[in-house]
């Protein structure tokens, strides 16, 4: 038997639509249950609406992981293991394991498992625990991964998470410790630094977009702005680009880019520059690059700074549009959750209008298929991109 949260009358619509977030304002009272415990959600007339993880300090008081309409006695190991094996079967359908051994196994709400990210790097699983409820069942998760023949399990949480009070430091909870591993993505090799890398170590979400760059880079001068591990750069080089310039502000990132270029023997015509991309884009010559990739970090971290972030996106896009060669291809992205696809397109539209160039959208881009978006949780569509043709 689980403790009960009750919805206010009239607040059941979003739950009926299977949106997994229950905001504190939708509940009848302030509940004082333990952080992370599993609770049963009921509507005002005592109908069961499902089960979720309770968060006493967050505005999202409960994150639903099951919309059962009948009482469930116990969510046990087998229950959570099934979520993980189901996610694995889906990845097996989507990813060619012969040329790719890194992928996202659990994409939080996108795999009906709020608060949990699991990325697989060859035989190693890297877990991000985003809420206390997931921390409380970490042994179930670990055991499920071992059954999938994972040899090492590492926990790498975001640096601070006071609201959820998630406390596990960077650590290996299974298998031999290692900081670096090499993975294969579309037959391209990549070093991933688990300890010092951003997020879980590598941006798996850009796999398909990197592949598209490879297909379009032949004989082109390519600029990869905000290069991080240099994934786009190596793909462009593998696609026989004439020249690939990678720019990142971080020394670690530029070193990583160089390492990955060497690992794939693509150092010829590759240049790695440590610089602020805002300055680089402003100062770079006109009519030099045929292909530009803009994949910056999330400029908008909270709803409060949407405007400032939007100015950042507009500025880099405007510079790229002004400078790119005639008939150039611009890949432009935003991974800010608070910027909707619509808003992103509006910002890019603003830059296009100011640039005075003729610009067409060739393709809408998004995160890879191993980052599914729960249709009832559109917030899961965080990576937005446009491939633009600039005349």
Residue 72 contacts residue 78 (beta carbons within 8 Å): no
Considering beta carbons, is residue 3 or 363 the nearer one to ligand SAH? 363
Considering beta carbons, is residue 181 or 253 the nearer one to ligand SAH? 253
Q: How far is the CB of 376 from ligand SAH (least distance, A)?
A: 28
| Interface size with ligand SAH, residues (CB under 6 A) | 18
Q: Is 335 an active-site residue?
A: yes
Please state, in angstroms and as integers, the Cα–Cα distance from residue 222 to each residue in 151, 269, 328, following that order: 38, 10, 10
Q: How far is the CB of 275 from ligand SAH (least distance, A)?
A: 7
Tokens 């995160």: give the residue: 367
Residue 241 contacts residue 232 (beta carbons within 8 Å): no
**Stretches 2-10, 115-123, 183-191, 295-303: which one binds ligand SAH (CB under 6 A)?**
295-303
The yes or no reply on residue 231 touching ligand SAH (CB under 6 A) is: yes
Write the binding mask 187 to 226 for ligand SAH: x where contact by CB under 6 A, - elsewhere.
----------------x--x-------------------x
Q: How far is the CB of 299 from ligand SAH (least distance, A)?
A: 9
Helices vs. strands in the chain: H and E counts, helices first: 10, 19
Considering beta carbons, is residue 42 or 206 the nearer one to ligand SAH? 206
The yes or no reply on residue 382 touching ligand SAH (CB under 6 A) is: no
Across-strand partners of 243?
221
Q: How far is the CB of 318 from ligand SAH (least distance, A)?
A: 15
The yes or no reply on residue 273 touching ligand SAH (CB under 6 A) is: no
Across-strand partners of 388?
330, 361
The yes or no reply on residue 263 touching ligand SAH (CB under 6 A) is: no
Across-strand partners of 384?
334, 366
Across-strand partners of 333?
385
Out of 174, 278, 349, 376, the only residue in the binding site for ligand SAH (CB under 6 A) is: 278
Please state, in angstroms and as integers, the Cα–Cα distance from residue 371 to each residue in 108, 208, 220, 272, 368, following that order: 9, 11, 30, 29, 6
The yes or no reply on residue 229 touching ligand SAH (CB under 6 A) is: yes
Residue 114 contacts residue 63 (beta carbons within 8 Å): yes
The whole-angstrom separation of Cα 52 and Cα 31 is: 14
Considering beta carbons, is residue 114 or 230 the nearer one to ligand SAH? 230
Out of 80, 232, 344, 382, the only residue in the binding site for ligand SAH (CB under 6 A) is: 232
Q: What is the four-CA torsion angle of 11, 15, 20, 21, rounded to 10 degrees? A: 0
* Residue numbers at the binding site for ligand SAH (CB under 6 A): 203, 206, 226-229, 231-232, 248-250, 253, 276-278, 295-297
């Amino acid at each position: 038997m689980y403790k009960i949260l009750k919805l206010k009358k009239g607040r059941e619509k979003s739950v009926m639509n299977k949106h997994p977030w229950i905001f504190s304002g939708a509940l009848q009272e302030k509940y004082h249950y333990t952080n992370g415990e599993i609770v049963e959600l009921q509507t005002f007339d005592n109908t069961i609406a499902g089960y979720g993880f309770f968060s006493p300090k967050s505005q999202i008081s409960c994150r639903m992981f099951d919309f059962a309409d009948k009482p469930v006695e116990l969510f046990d190991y087998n229950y959570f293991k099934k979520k993980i094996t189901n996610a694995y079967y889906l990845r097996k359908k989507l990813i060619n394991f012969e040329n790719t051994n890194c992928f996202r196994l659990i994409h939080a709400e996108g795999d009906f498992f709020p608060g949990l990210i699991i990325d697989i790097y060859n035989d190693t699983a890297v877990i991000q625990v985003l809420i206390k409820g997931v921390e409380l069942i970490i042994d179930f998760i670990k055991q499920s991964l071992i059954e999938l023949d994972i040899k090492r399990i590492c926990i790498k949480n975001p640096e601070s998470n006071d609201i959820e009070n998630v406390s596990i430091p960077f650590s290996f909870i299974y298998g031999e410790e290692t900081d670096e591993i090499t993975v294969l993505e579309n037959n391209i090799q990549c070093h991933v630094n688990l300890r010092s890398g951003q997020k879980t170590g590598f941006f798996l979400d850009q796999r398909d977009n990197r592949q598209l760059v490879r297909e379009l880079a032949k004989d082109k001068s390519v600029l990869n702005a905000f290069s991080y591990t240099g994934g786009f750069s190596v793909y462009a080089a593998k696609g026989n680009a004439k020249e690939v310039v990678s720019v990142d502000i971080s020394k670690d990132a530029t070193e990583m880019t160089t390492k990955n270029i060497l690992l794939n023997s693509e150092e010829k015509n590759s240049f790695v520059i440590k610089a602020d991309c805002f300055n680089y884009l402003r100062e770079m010559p006109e009519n030099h690059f045929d292909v530009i990739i803009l994949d910056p970090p999330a400029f908008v971290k909270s709803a409060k700074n949407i405007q400032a972030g939007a100015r950042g996106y507009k500025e880099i896009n405007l510079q790229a549009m002004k400078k790119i060669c005639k008939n150039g291809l611009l890949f432009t992205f935003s991974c800010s959750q608070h910027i909707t696809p619509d808003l992103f397109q509006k910002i890019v539209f603003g830059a296009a209008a100011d640039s005075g160039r003729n610009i067409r959208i060739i393709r809408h881009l998004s995160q890879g298929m191993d980052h599914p978006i729960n249709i009832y949780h559109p917030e899961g569509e965080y990576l937005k991109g446009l491939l633009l043709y600039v005349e």
